[in-house]
Amino acid sequence: MKNNRRNFIKLAGLAAAGLCVAPKTTLASGGGHSPVKPGANARNAKRWAMVVDTRRINTDEDIKALQDVCHAVHNVPDVPTNQNIMWIWSAPYEECFPEQHNPYLDDDVKERSYMLLCNHCDNPPCVRVCPTKATFKRPDGIVAMDYHRCIGCRYCMAGCPYGSRSFNFGEPREYLDPTKLNPEFPTRMRGVVEKCNFCVERLAKGLQPACVEASDGAIVFGDLADKDSDVRKVLRENFTIRRKPTAGTEPSVYYII
Amino acid sequence: MHYGGKIIIGIVIFVGLLLSPFVFNVGKAYKQPELKLPANEKKCVESLEFMRTKHMQLLNEWRDWALRDGKRVYVNHEGKEFEISLQNTCMKCHKSKADFCDKCHNDAGVTPYCWDCHIQPEGLK
């Protein structure tokens, strides 16, 4: 058979047709093919936010109870030194709101303890400085961590104006009780930064974040972009402040005073 | 030849060392590791051949889909849906890391770091 252009094009056409009916398994997980979707019950929002009612959650015991729930769900180790890992913790007024000092503030407000956690900022400095994009902002506003990519450089810790990030100096598993682990959630390894993730894994299943569930209504969680949502209702009806407004990070955690 | 004896002895030792793995294993047939397959589940997420050769690529994509794209349901080629999760989907059928993952990984001399964070079904030691 003479090998000319016409024959070549015929053969190429046949080969292309053959590829179309080739067993699909060989094409699975090929570039561009993504047979995935969000879960049927997943909660969706344009901008997740949290409102903490400090009239109801204001003692160290209240906050410790929520911290225990959060840390148990996410296998957060309790390291008995200043290298401890914190997803939720408590601080006095001056530490929580260092820019809103007023020597004649109501004693009640001044003496409360405030629940602190990652603020999931609109303009997160941690994301901007992360060299590996291990920390990133999801379209729904949650600032998430990909521990697989974290190289432990701790730029994000330097960038975060709220100290919301903890570094695993040691092996976190040494400080976890193997009998009390949550087998549904991983632990972390040594040398990565970790922080609150607004319970993305629970939102994906249609649940509320663990601290919201445990707070008995004192913490409200919902979509800021939806004006009929619970958070917007609570924000309309109460006076709220956010931490360090001058940092310009636009936190998504609001405090009812 | 200057130092000829020493050089030749050196070459003999070097070649001996180089060939020693072949000499030690001569006559022994390679035996594939015997995996413990799940008792009540016959089919994996994808076909056997695919999982055997490409599970690492699939897991790699799973982790990006779940964590970075927030899409946690995988639809396989038969249209069946699975939750994207190493710990909560894969290891619910493959109930033992030691009897399943480790056998091949030890055989192939690879040590993936999945279990530095993910909790194996046997629990932490």
- B75/A35 touch (CB, cutoff 8 Å), yes or no: yes
Whole-number percent of chain B with pLDDT over 70: 100
- Average pLDDT per run of 10 along chain A, which is 257 residues long? 81 84 55 74 94 96 96 96 95 92 90 96 97 96 96 97 96 94 95 96 95 96 95 96 95 96
Which residue range forms the structural domain that includes residue B89? 48-116
Q: What does chain B come to in residues? A: 125
> Which of A200, A140, A207, A194 has its CA nearest to residue B72?
A200
Amino acid, res. B52: R
For residue A42 the two structure tokens come to: 């997943």
Within-domain flag for B10: no
CB of A177 within 8 A of CB of A168? no
Pairwise CA distance, residues A119 & A251, whole Å: 5
C-alpha to C-alpha distances, A14 to A21, B51, B96, B114, nearest whole angstrom: 11, 29, 47, 43
Query: What integer pLDDT is reported at residue A1 of this predicted model?
Result: 58
- A25/B50 touch (CB, cutoff 8 Å), yes or no: yes
Query: What integer pLDDT is reported at residue A25 of this predicted model?
Result: 52
Mutate which of A24, A25, A174 to disrupt the B interface (most B C-beta within 10 Å)? A25
Say what the ipTM of the complex is: 0.81
Q: Is the dihedral of CA A103, A106, A108, A114 positive or negative?
A: negative
* Residues of A with Cβ-Cβ distance to B58 under 8 angstroms: 28-29
Within-domain flag for B39: no
* Number of other residues whose CB lies within 10 A of the CB of residue A254: 22
Within-domain flag for B98: yes
Pairwise CA distance, residues A157 & A147, whole Å: 15
Q: What's the 3-state SS for chain B?
A: CCCHHHHHHHHHHHHHHHHHHHHHCCCCCCCCCCCCCCCCCCCCCCCHHHHHHHHHHHHHHHHHHHHHCCCCEEECCCCCEEECCHHHHHHHHCCCCCCCHHHHHHHHCCCCCHHHCCCCCCCCC
Query: What integer pLDDT is reported at residue A211 of this predicted model?
Result: 96
Query: What integer pLDDT is reported at residue A192 of this predicted model?
Result: 97
Query: What integer pLDDT is reported at residue A103 of this predicted model?
Result: 86
Considering chain B, what is the average pLDDT of its residues?
A: 92
Residues 173-192 of A with CB under 8 A from B: 173, 176, 178, 181, 183-189
Pairwise CA distance, residues A169 & A105, whole Å: 39
Distance of CA A234 to the CA centre of its chain: 22
Q: Which CATH class is domain A31-256?
A: alpha beta
Q: Is the dihedral of CA A163, A177, A192, B84 positive or negative?
A: negative
- Mind listing the pLDDT tens digit for each residue in B41-84? 889 999 999 999 999 999 999 999 999 999 999 999 888 999 99
Query: In this complex, is the C-beta atom of B61 within 8 Å of any C-beta atom belonging to chain A?
Result: yes
Q: How many domains does one find in chain B?
A: 1
Query: What integer pLDDT is reported at residue A31 of this predicted model?
Result: 47
Query: Side-chain half-sphere of A185: how many Cα atoms within 13 Å?
Result: 18
Within-domain flag for B25: no
Query: What integer pLDDT is reported at residue A158 of this predicted model?
Result: 97
Pairwise CA distance, residues B96 & B94, whole Å: 6
Query: In this complex, is the C-beta atom of A108 within 8 Å of any C-beta atom belonging to chain B?
Result: no
Q: Which residues of A16-43 are buried (b: 16+ CB within 10 A; e: fewer)?
A: eeeeeeeeebeebbeeeeebbeebeebb
Query: What integer pLDDT is reported at residue A3 of this predicted model?
Result: 74
